[in-house]
Chain A
C-alpha cells in the first residue's frame, strides 16, 4: 500500500494518475469497484479500498473483476474496474458481450497500457478494444485530466448506456501532478435490477437483435466524439506541422513544439474523422503521434486524409521529446537537433529476487537438476529465468505454465524423450488462470511436475492479498484456500501432493527428484510467505568467517542479493582443471537470517553474526 499523497490544500492535491482516478471514482458516487493487481494499474483499487462508501475487492482475475462490475451496473449502481493491458485480454470475453447488453448504472473500465515495458511481457494498445467492442475510449494525459475524464466517463456511460474505457499509460498512472478536486456526490441507484431477458440474456436470438442497436449506438458515439470538447485544437502560430495526439503523447508534442497547432484527442474512439479533416486543411503537414499502434492514422488514411505517423515515428516505446524532435526535424528537412548525450556503458542492473525470498531455494534447487524443461509463469518467480539460476525455459502469459507444460509433454520429439517437464506457478497466478490448466493436465493424463509456490501474496505488485492470503483487500481476515485440498479436488492423487518448506533445501531437492521420476502429474506446494508482507518473520543475520571461506561459490549460486563476492582467485586443481574461487561476505545489515546460504556451504563458514560487532558494509 503506497503512502497517501499529501494534501496541499483541501481541494488541491498532489496525485498520481491512479490516485486521481480513484478520487474521481469516489466523487462520482460509484458503489462497486474490482480489479486484479497489475503494474501500472494497481494503485487505483488500493486507493479506492480506503473509501468506506465503495465496496472494493481484489478479484481472482480481470474477467471476474469485470463481471462483478457488470453485475453492479446491471443492478443500477455505478461500477468501476481497473486492469493492466494484458488483463483486458483475459476480461475481453465478458467485454465483447457487455457491448451488446450495455449498462444501466455507469460503468468505467480503466486500462493501464505499459508503454515502454516497465514490467510486462508485452506492449499492447488497448485503444483497439474500444474499436473492437464498439465502446468509447477516453484518453487522459495527466492526473488532472484522469480525474476529470473519469467523472465525465460515468456520466457518458449512463447517458449512452455503454461502458467507457479509460485508456491510461504508465506515464499517467505513475506520474504525480497537482489536481483540483471536488466532493463526493451520492449517486442514487436507479431502482434495482429490472428483469429484461431480451436485453440481459445474450442467447444467439437475443444477441442478434442487439447487434443492430450497437451499430445505431455507434452513430451516436461518433457524433458525440465529433462534438466533444475533449477533442480540441490548441495553439498554433507555426502551421508547417499540425499534430494529432492523445494521452502523454500530447504532453510530449506540446513540450517539443510549443508553437505548433495540436488537435488533442481526449475522446479518441470513435475517431472524430471530420474534425481532423477540417484541422488537416489548416496545416502544411499532418502528423499523428500515437503510442503504440497507428490506429488513428490508419483510420484517417482510410478516410482519404493524408498524414504522417508511423512512417516517421517508432512503433515501440514512449514518444518523449527526444524521440519526437529528431523525427520532425527530418520531416521538415531541417538539421537534426544537437546530438543528445549518450549514456555510459554501465553493467545492467536487472530486478532481482529479494534477500531471503522463499523462491531462492526453489530456483537454486532447479538449477542443480539436469535434463528438465521448465515452463514458467507471470510473477516474481519469473525472475528465476535470470542469473544465477537460468531456471525457466518459457514465459507467455498468466497461468500459461500449466497448458504449455502439457503441450511440451504431449508434443515432445525424440530428442526430448527422457526430459522431465516441470511447471512453476505462484499462488495468485494459480488462482487467476492456473487451475484450469492443471485440471487439463490431470484430465489428459499429462506427465508434469507442478511447483506451486505459495507465498500468500501477489508478490510482484507489492504483496497484495489473494484468496491464498487469509486476508482481504482491507487486511481483514478472509477464508484461506487450502491448496493441497484444491489440487486434490482437481484430480491430483493424494500421494502425489507434497507440501514442502522451501528453506529446507535437502527435502525440497529430494521431493522434486522423486516426483519428476514418476510418470504422472504431481504438485509440490511450497509454503513460506513473501518477505515483503507482514507474515514474514525476520531472524538474526548471518556472517562469513573469512578464514573458513574456501571460495567454492556454492552460496553465490543461491542468488541472494545479500551475498557479495569480495575477492576472486584462479587456481589449478590437481586434475589440471582451472577454477575460479569466489570469496564472499554477507551484507549483515540486510540479511534476514533465512539460512538458505548456510545449507550449501561445505566448510561451515557461514555462522550467526556477532551482535557485538558493528554492522560492516560490503564495498568494493
Chain B
C-alpha cells in the first residue's frame, strides 16, 4: 500500500466542542473529491468532558482507520493542552493548528494536577510548528460559541491537499440541509478562522525574524 498517498489528519479536543462534527465535514469534503475515506474516534464516555480524538484518513485506498503516532500530516487542536497531549502523532516538524482556549477539568480545579503553564511553548520545544489563535473568542464575537468548530475548519482550509472552496462547500451543504438560517453565519466563521490562522502564521514568522 503506497502509504504516502494517504493523508492523515488528527482532530482533538473535549467532548461537546464539535470535534466529531468538524471531522465529519472534513470527511465529506474528501469524499466529494473521490477519495477513499475512513474516520474513527473514541466516543462513549468521552462525551462527558473527556478527551475526544478523531482520526481522518483519506487517499486512493485506506486500510487501518487509525493514524500511527509520528505520521499525522496535520493536528487540529480545539484546546491548548490537548494540542500538547496529541502532538507526538505528528510527523517530525509537523503543524498544529491550535485554539488557545484553556478548558480546565475538575481534576485540575480541585488541585490534583496542574494545567501546563505554556502548552504552546512545550509543543514548539518538541520541534513542531504551532499556529495559535482564540477560536472561542472569534465564535463568540460572531454570536455563538458553537461556531467554534467552523472557525477551526476555516483555519484548516489552506493546509489541505485540496482547495479551501471544497471544504467550505461541504459546510454549506450540511447547513443548507439541516439549518439553512445558519449557512451565512458559518460561512463567516469559516472565513474568520481562515484569516485568524493566516495572522497566526504571520505572527509566528515575525517572531522568528
Contact = CB atoms under 8 A, between A and B. Distances in A.
A568 B137 CA distance: 26
How many interface residues does chain A have, given as a range? 35 or more
B46 A354 contact: no
A564 B31 contact: no
Interface string B87-112: 11110000000000110111111111
A344 B87 contact: yes
B41 A178 contact: no
A171 B105 contact: no
B43 A118 contact: yes
B145 interface: yes
Interface string B4-28: 0000000000110000000010011
Contacts of A341: 69-70, 88-90
B4 to A, nearest CB: 12
A174 B41 contact: yes
B15 A351 contact: yes
A427 B93 CA distance: 51
Interface stretch (B60-68, B190-198, B201-209): B60-68
Contacts of A561: 49, 105-106
Indicate the member of B39, B47, B48 with the most A CB atoms within 10 Å.
B48
Contacts of B113: 347-348
Contacts of A255: 1, 63-64
B36 interface: yes
B111 A565 contact: yes
B159 interface: no
A460 interface: yes
Contacts of A293: none
A248 B38 CA distance: 13
Contacts of A175: 38-40, 65
B116 A346 contact: yes
A461 B88 CA distance: 30
A170 interface: yes
A354 B14 CA distance: 13
B38 A344 contact: no
Contacts of B65: 142, 171, 175, 177, 248, 251
Given A6-B28, A39-B44, A176 B106 contact: no
B50 interface: yes
A349 B105 contact: yes
A559 interface: yes
Nearest to B56: A176
Nearest to A116: B42
A320 interface: yes
Contacts of A171: 40, 65-66
A347 B62 CA distance: 33
Interface in A540-581: 556, 559, 561, 563-565, 568, 580
A617 B14 CA distance: 16
Given A178-B36, A346-B81, A556-B109, A14 B64 contact: no
Nearest to A13: B31
Interface string B121-135: 010001000000000
A352 B48 contact: yes
A174 B42 contact: yes
B175 to A, nearest CB: 12
Interface of A: 3, 6, 8, 14, 39-40, 116, 118-119, 142, 170-171, 174-178, 248, 251-252, 254-255, 258, 318, 320-322, 340-344, 346-354, 380, 383, 387-388, 460-462, 556, 559, 561, 563-565, 568, 580, 582, 589, 615, 617-620
- The 6 A-B residue pairs with the shortest CB-CB distance, nearest first, are A119-B44, A347-B113, A39-B44, A341-B88, A352-B49, A351-B50
